[in-house]
Amino acid sequence: MTHRSINGRLRVRSCGLLVEKKKLLLIELHSPVTDTWVWLPPGGEVEFGESLEEAVKREFMEETGLYVSVEQKFEINQIIKPPIHAIEVYFLVKRIGGNLALGEDPELDDD
């Protein structure tokens, strides 16, 4: 599994925490930081010109099939583990539509 150019640059990620019936929605993905499979909240890189809120909504749709609204900023996390450096902003989100489905990670190469 190959990750597109994420090494050697600062990445800004926007992530969402969706809690329903006392359960947190997580997705399984291959972490470039640990080089292992991990469970994390849906989220990903903010595109140029995109707000943090727009990014988390887009990432949620891509990765879970769900439409969400952003309720409030929750936490900011920084990862510095060369060659990876990321700033992650976490939001509490609320489901407003869509159907939960297996999504895809556009940050991964097709192979």
For residue 58, pLDDT beyond 70: yes
Q: Evaluate if residue 1 carries a pLDDT over 50.
A: no
Contact at 8 Å (CB) between 95 and 58?
no
Overall average pLDDT of the 45-53 stretch: 97
pTM assigned to the model: 0.85
